[in-house]
Amino acid sequence: MICPHCQRPFEPGRPHQVFCGPKCRVAHHKATLGDGGLRAPVRTVKVLSSGQVSVTLRFPPQEAKNAFSLRPGMVIEVVSQ
């Protein structure tokens, strides 16, 4: 496998391992804050009468400044872990 942070090949020590180690996992998490890599727990999921799905996320105070840059109508990528 190739580590998505340092681009070096590594042998996963456990199933579903994405990064070569904890340093890269933490560094990647920090590097992606504010650029679409926000992490937040899902609080509510509602199916609207139109059939669309409304999802509410709750951000901790230290990440709220990044969440506020999200605007209604903005297209973002949602990745489930």
3-class SS letters over the chain: CECCCCCCECCCCCCCCCCCCHHHHHHHHHHCCCCCCCCCCEEEEEECCCCCEEEEECCCHHHHHHHCCCCCCCCCCCCCC
Q: Is 67 one of the binding residues for Zn ion (CB under 5 A)?
A: no
Q: Is 40 one of the binding residues for Zn ion (CB under 5 A)?
A: no
Q: Is 6 one of the binding residues for Zn ion (CB under 5 A)?
A: yes
Q: Binding residues for Zn ion, how many (CB under 5 A)?
A: 5
Q: Is 27 one of the binding residues for Zn ion (CB under 5 A)?
A: no
Q: Which residues bind Zn ion (CB under 5 A)?
A: 3, 5-6, 20, 24
